[in-house]
Structure 1
Amino acid sequence: MQETVVKESEELATPGDVLGRAAEVKPGRGAYLAPHSNLVYASLTGRVRTVSPPPDVPDQRPTVEVIGHKAHGAVPEPGSVVIARVTKVLNRMASADILCVGPKSVREKFTGIIRQQDVRATEIDKVDMHLSFRPGDIVRALVLSLGDARAYYLSTAKNELGVLSAESAAGATMVPVSWTEMQCPLTGQTEKRKVAKVGS
């Protein structure tokens, strides 16, 4: 008896991509059939795989699957330390895109929120978000919990957490000079940040 033939392509699909017509392929894992259009769509992001049916099956349509990246990509969990890029700073919070969980990079988009009360451990009421973070800053933060609207609540309230890397107005990578300031090596100007303490 002939073996089932599996063909895995390098082609990547994202949710909503058309994988084929229902007359020609059957949906497998990571795919679904839309009855109104008779098209098979991807339901997740991953590699497209086509599985040929055994020759003794009446239905000779191959099965099309999408093999997701979730198995490989890291997912933030409460207690994990993440690296994130600040995207927006408001009066009471900053939002950031999570780039890495521990040493592993993420493959999906995860959003984190650093609330005013989670920036540092002391003098919480005096925290000024605009003097702690700027858009584009790379921060190390601790995941507190999965908040609302699919965003993770992040904390920088430990000495080793906070801004790791930031760009100055002149476009240079700034150097930390204290726990609250970073300096532009080109202009010598300092900017306020919640700086992560590196090393011992």
Structure 2
Amino acid sequence: MIDLGHPEPVVPGQRLGYAEDYSAGTGTYERDGLLYSSVVGLRHVLQAAEGQLPLLTVTREKEQSAVPEVGSVITGKVIRVSPMQAVVAIMVVGEVPCKEDFVGSIRVQDVRAAEKDKVKIYNSFRPGDIVQAEVISLGDARSYVLSTAKNELGVIFATSVAGATMIPVSWQEMQCPKTKAIEYRKCAKPF
């Protein structure tokens, strides 16, 4: 169906038109020969088949806010590092952006699968890095528990000291294209 005209915002109870001119669609109702909005949203007039009245609908804005759950892969920004963990602001869950602020932490034992005792957080993540991680626990009220132990998880974007976007050269090193300096990171293996 083709949308005729421009969508306009409406509120419940707002008069939309005459029942003799339009068919009532989703988000609308008819009373005494008039059509009204039953929800907050946008008024659309859709072209109907030959010989039928145009369809009048009201659609809500899609409120699709992502919420992290165990097993989901998140993309986030490292906001703080300490010797025991990296704190991450979760921005995207799967493919859906977060509308609310969620925080997760990658503990030193969850950085990689092997040689967990040799992991140093500062050699894996730096503030400002963009990481992909898996939610392994809902944690406490303050943060989710995240892991980068799988090969495809880790730093996906980092900026060097010189301000250039770094290029991964191994699973634990990234190189600055300007200065050729090597910095340590827990790199995500590209898909």
TM-score by length of structure 2 reads 0.68
SS at match of 2:170: coil
Q: Which residue type is aligned with residue 172 of structure 2?
A: T
**Matching residue of 2:85:** 93
1:5 aligned onto 2:13:
yes
Choose which of 92, 103, 122 in structure 2 pairs with 1:130: 122
Choose which of 90, 96, 107 in structure 2 pairs with 1:115: 107
Q: Which residue type is aligned with residue 5 of structure 1?
A: G
Deviations 1:147-182 (A, max 9, x none): 113311000001000000000001110000000000
**Matching residue of 2:75:** 83
SS at match of 1:143: strand
Equivalents in 2 of 1:74, 1:149: separation in Å? 17
Q: 1:186 to 1:108 in 2, by over 3 A?
A: same
1:168 aligned onto 2:143:
no
Equivalents in 2 of 1:68, 1:112: separation in Å? 28
Q: CA RMSD in A?
A: 2.0
User: What's the offset of the Cα at 1:73?
Assistant: 1.1
Aligned length: 138
User: What's the offset of the Cα at 1:6?
Assistant: 4.9
**Matching residue of 2:190:** 198
Q: 1:143 to 1:186 in 2, by over 3 A?
A: same
5+ residue gaps, structure 2, are 1-11, 16-39, 41-59
Deviations 1:84-125 (A, max 9, x none): 100000000000100101111111000010000100001101
5+ residue gaps, structure 1, are 8-48, 50-66
Equivalents in 2 of 1:78, 1:148: separation in Å? 13
Q: Which residue type is aligned with residue 84 of structure 1?
A: G
Q: 1:68 to 1:75 in 2, by over 3 A?
A: farther
**Structure 1 segment 181-192 matched on structure 2, within 5 A:** 181-192=173-184
**Matching residue of 2:21:** none
Equivalents in 2 of 1:73, 1:170: separation in Å? 36
Q: Which residue type is aligned with residue 81 of structure 1?
A: V
1:148 aligned onto 2:148:
no
Equivalents in 1 of 2:172, 2:132: separation in Å? 15
> Which ranges of 4 or more aligned residues in structure 1 deviate by more than 2 Å?
none
User: What's the offset of the Cα at 1:146?
Assistant: 1.0
Q: Which residue type is aligned with residue 77 of structure 2?
A: R
**Structure 1 segment 20-99 matched on structure 2, within 5 A:** 71-99=63-91
Equivalents in 2 of 1:135, 1:169: separation in Å? 12
User: What's the offset of the Cα at 1:145?
Assistant: 1.2
TM-score by length of structure 1 reads 0.65
